[in-house]
Structure 1
Amino acid sequence: MVYEDFVPGEVVEHRPGRTITMSDNTWSSLLCLNQHPLHIDAVYAEQTAFKRILVSSLVTFGIVNGMTVSSISAKCIANLGWDKVRMTAPVFVGDTLYATTRILTKRESAKRPGEGIVTVHTTGLNQDGVSVIEFERTILVPRQEADR
């Protein structure tokens, strides 16, 4: 999307969903050096309040954010930041995640002619429609005339 395509208040659904596997969780947890046993040790996890392995929040964040790329930021020039990241419910191996994004604001860049700044709010939902993550993201995108 280019700057002119973003309409504040509009909601975009990101499909298809993505089912989380144990490999996703283990590899991503270890890649990020998150060796907390709750994410990689089934025996340990069984002794916690969750009673099973909990998917790392970095895995959840990465997958939900990634789901938005093709429909929100494929033409993005730069990610300017993520704010208000909240893990709102646990995610477990076997859960399927979906996402929606609401366009919050947009403005022309004061420093970069031909570009605009857009802020969105993304919600990740599990297969039961329960919100598992929410965050705001600000991106720098080209203006339509700069995209030609």
Structure 2
Amino acid sequence: MPDDTDDTDTDRRIVAGWQGRFFEDFTVGDIYKHPYGRTVTETDNVWFTNVTMNLNPMHFNEAYAAETEFGERLVDGTFVIALAVGMSVIDVSANATANLGYDDVRHTGPVFHGDTIFAESEVLSKRESDSRDHVGIVETELRAYNQDDEQVLELKRTPMVLKREHAEPSAAQPTGWPAGVGTTPEEL
């Protein structure tokens, strides 16, 4: 009688991972809570402030910031935008061909070193593109919160997203992978 716990004879196969949403997958009113919060470090803030040449001492001068109403340095707001948008890509724009705009950006609360940021997107509208039949346009509202459920950011984001019939990802060659890299079906 064979041992059912013996896994040595299992068939190997390439299984598709998350391919991201295509235009058809968006429904007005849906809210996507993006996976993984991220704690903002002092290094994030200092490097981003230096790379972008943001000269406001609120971000890099502890003595100055200590004398403000916040009593400490604030995280650069454009870092918070970049972080929240990055968090949303997995659900909103992994299959985007372009970001058409970021509108109505509002920093609704301060972010400090050590805060953990979480983000969610709500689908506000979607429509066919007037000029490109292979994509549609999706408008979302992106909201970010800290670990205490205090909203710190909101903005509207409008990506142009591929329609499923025009995308060609597969389990063997997902988006971003060159042909022939990694395990191939021929090897199985």
Both structures adopt the same fold (TM-score exceeding 0.5): yes
Q: Separation in 2 of the partners of 1:84 and 1:145?
A: 32
Distance 1:48 1:41 in 2: 11
Is it true that 1:42 corresponds to 2:42 in the alignment? no
Measured after TM superposition, the shift of residue 72 of structure 1 is 1.1
2:99 maps to which of 79, 86, 96? 79
In structure 2, distance between residues paired with 1:19 and 1:67: 12
1:19 & 1:49 partners in 2: Cα distance? 23
- Say if 2:34 is the partner of 1:33: no
Aligned equivalents of 1:70 and 1:100: distance in 2?
11
Other-structure match for 2:145: 125
Answer 1 or 2: which has greater strand percent. Answer: 1
Q: Which has the higher contact order (CA 8 A, sep 6+)?
A: 1
In structure 1, distance between residues paired with 2:162 and 2:64: 48
Aligned-residue RMSD, C-alpha: 0.7
Structure 1 stretches of 4+ with a deviation exceeding 3 A read none
Q: Which residue of 1 aligns with 2:176?
A: none
Q: Percent identity?
A: 40
Q: In terms of Rg, which structure is larger? A: 2
CA distance in 2: counterparts of 1:55 and 1:114, whole angstroms = 39
Flag structure 1 segments of 5+ consecutive residues without an equivalent. none
Q: Residue deviations 1:65-118, cap 9 Å, x none?
A: 110011111111000000000000000000000001000100000100121000
CA distance in 1, matches of 2:93, 2:44: 23
Query: In structure 1, what is the equivalent of residue 115 of structure 2?
Result: 95
TM-score (norm 2): 0.77
Aligned residue type for 1:104: L
